[in-house]
Structure 1
Amino acid sequence: MIKFPTSDLPFSEYIHHCRTLIAERRTDLQRFHVHEKFIIDVNSPYELIPDKPTYSDGKLKYGALLLHGLFDCPFSLKDLGECLKSNGILSHAILLPGHGTRPEDLLKISYHEWIEALHYGIKTLQQRVEKIYLVGYSTGATLSVYQALQDKQIAGIILLAPALKIKAPIDILLNWRHLIKWIRNKKQWVCYEDEIDYARYQSIAFNPVIQLTMLMRVIKELARQQTITCPVFIATSREDETISSEEALRFFSQLSHHNNQLLLYSSRNYLHSDPRIVTRPTLNQQSHIKHFSHVSIPFAPHNVHYGKQGDYFYSRHQYTQEYTFGAYNRLEIQLFDILYNLGIVREKRRELTYNPDFDFMANKIVDFIVKN
């Protein structure tokens, strides 16, 4: 496990250490049809250096620290990172401790270790750029909010499907300390699944979910005393099956910066009095897409793994008449499979794995960075 802070470890050496750790810890490198090196590449931190950067006082003007989500890896923000690179913005993607290796590595992790990784990422990027933007997906967005509440040097934060409140009732369970202690000692897993995805854990442990919820509580306490002064960009799905989009809207409504923006994906046409909120429709009958899922937001349609023609198992049937794609959780998918087999419904349900509106979102994010 990479320990933080790593003193003055150069970012290139940090990448090397993480790659070595991933190669040592993973036991599935020969399981998939892709090359071992590709799996290590996907799960490792990376640096994307622009060919035509903008300079200011001897430094690159813009830098983005990419923070992935829970059970994910840096690959989840690679598509956006490439877009930033082509627009003159340097990107550093870090690996949150416990990720990219095996699900068991999250059993004893603490959210404090994620914060230490965040601070290391900021420190190394500050050496290269004038303005730092935090780009967080899901739990990465939670960490971005945490930092922005305390660090006035952050130029702005971009939050994709921000995990500000989980739909599952974990927060209620946290009030029952004896139950939580029993869960940690006796019941380590919410579910333990076959690891069929080389870029995201399928097995869900209780501990990281509890750690995330504890971090959310810390943020609520900080927000009572401090405010975010930098501009904020949010992109989220109204029908998100994992996190509360209502909480994201509530959070946004409390922010006052005139350059704040919220991109709301929805299967319904919501009208908002706030001109900073833009609603984008998700219903696409031709592609059998009803709404956007939590995991779909950061991935482009051309993504090699989760895109239209991606190699991930559940990305292979995008245009068959058998499926409707959207924001469906595992229980909903299993239920509709049963109903389909009984002839009660005409289509099965599957989680949408990419964002059909990715280019629009990415261009909005680039404008948000370079115009602030």
Structure 2
Amino acid sequence: MTLQACASTEVPLGQASFAEYRQQTIAWMQENRTFQTTDHPAEIEWNAPREWRPKAPATRGILLVHGLGDSPWSFNDVGEALAAQGFLVRTVLLPGHGSKPADMLEVTLKQWQQVVREQTQILEREVPTVYLGGFSTGANLVLDYAYEHPNIAGLVLFSPAFKPANTYAWVTQYIGWFRPWLAKPDDGVRPMQTPVRYLNVPTNGFAQFYRSALLAQMHLDKGAYDKPVFVAITEHDSVLDTGYVLDTFNARFIHPFSRLIWYGNEPAPGQKNPKVVVRNDFLPEYRIARFSHMGLMFSPANPLYGVNGTQRICWNGQSSADMQKCLNGEPVWYSDWGYREPGKVFARLTFNPYFEWQSGVMMEVLAYP
């Protein structure tokens, strides 16, 4: 793949090294991205594949894969935490991302699988022990690869989208040809994207997400996964079927070191076991009504998404009047998409007050062997 090819709308794949992959992806973004701020270099860096190297030579590595509409920024804090514990950490940018939502109109699940496969194999040539991690759709992609490749040492899964909460998600596979967008683009109401994520995704993007969920379910239906797995989910996730994830964890992730963090109310007695750790997600001291699908991976100190972050997501399933109050900088509460209470304005929760503790649990899982 040449740099000339990177200047086209075809996303660069097939590189021989991570450095080449990062370089060509940056060149592609520079040609294709719809920038959201005047600081173009910062936006490129936030969305580009990234690497964290530990201080000492690494013997363990982990590849982290973001979710639908997101970017490598999803792992800004997780990557730093893992590198501090000796991991060589890398992220990828899934094809169709990092530029503009319309670039997802023709993307395929096979392209997403290809970048995971290529960059995992490159990482395996550099360190003897490789883990995979993913958020949402990315969790489906790494689970797919891990089931097919037993040399993967374990998994780190944030809000794994094994099964969508929307029971009509399957329809997206068939309607894209006559309805390319579920929500009309550039309608003057819904913003299209932020500096680090898309807020509107073509129908085809949702279709590929759904297909990734089917892949995950296919593997999980076949049998158990015996490597250590760390999972973090919130009970009130608006995107995924959290009950399915919890039941799947208990039935399929059988390694004794595996742990699932459940943010919310206590699960039913039949779903709770010593490998499931519960934390309350109603934290009024932070003005948090409930945790969100995307917020689990970010420290309260994150410069974009933290308590004092610059990226407040006001498009959160509320009235246009409340959204405008949020945009105007008025005091808000935080929640997942679509949650409302009378008299309160809600922004999306984009940080996790338990982040440091969560990172400690994650590292305990990854301490094996």
Range into which the TM-score falls when normalised by the shorter chain: 0.7 to 0.9
Contact in 2 for aligned 1:47/1:90 (Cα 8 Å): yes
Q: 2:230, 2:76 → 1: CA distance?
A: 18
Partner of 1:189: 181
Q: Does 1:27 align with 2:34?
A: yes
2:313 counterpart SS class: helix
2:153 counterpart SS class: strand
1:294 counterpart SS class: coil
1:66 counterpart SS class: strand
Q: 1:218, 1:86 → 2: CA distance?
A: 33
Give unpaired runs (5+ residues) of structure 2: 1-9, 315-324
Match runs of 1:1-372 below 5 Å:
1-6=10-15, 9-28=16-35, 31-32=36-37, 35-53=39-57, 60-173=58-171, 181=174, 183-191=175-183, 192=185, 193-255=190-252, 256-266=254-264, 268-270=265-267, 273-314=272-313, 322-329=331-338, 332=339, 345-372=342-369
Contact in 2 for aligned 1:170/1:210 (Cα 8 Å): no
Displaced runs of 4 or more, over 6 A: 315-318
Q: Provide the alpha-carbon RMSD of the alignment.
A: 2.2
Q: 1:196, CA displacement in angstroms?
A: 4.8
1:236 counterpart SS class: strand
Q: 1:269, CA displacement in angstroms?
A: 3.5
- The code of the aligned residue for 1:14 comes to Y
Partner of 2:320: none
1:158 counterpart SS class: strand
2:297 counterpart SS class: coil
What CA deviation, in whole Å up to 9, does each residue of 1:253-292 have, x standing for no partner?
Answer: 11221111101111x2446541000001121112211211
- The code of the aligned residue for 1:314 comes to I
Q: 2:170, 2:59 → 1: CA distance?
A: 44
What CA deviation, in whole Å up to 9, does each residue of 1:147-190 have, x standing for no partner?
Answer: 1211100000010000111112334526xxxxx54x22221112
- Number of matched residues? 341
Give unpaired runs (5+ residues) of structure 1: 54-59, 175-179, 337-344
Q: 2:121, 2:202 → 1: CA distance?
A: 30
% same residue? 26
Partner of 1:340: none
- The code of the aligned residue for 2:304 comes to H
Q: 2:147, 2:114 → 1: CA distance?
A: 16
- Give the TM-score normalised by the residue count of structure 1: 0.86
Q: 1:313, CA displacement in angstroms?
A: 3.4
Q: 2:237, 2:18 → 1: CA distance?
A: 34
Q: 1:321, 1:171 → 2: CA distance?
A: 35
Contact in 2 for aligned 1:292/1:326 (Cα 8 Å): yes
Q: 1:295, CA displacement in angstroms?
A: 1.1
- Which deviates the most, 225-234 or 42-51? 225-234
- The code of the aligned residue for 1:214 comes to R
- The code of the aligned residue for 1:275 comes to P
- The code of the aligned residue for 1:151 comes to H
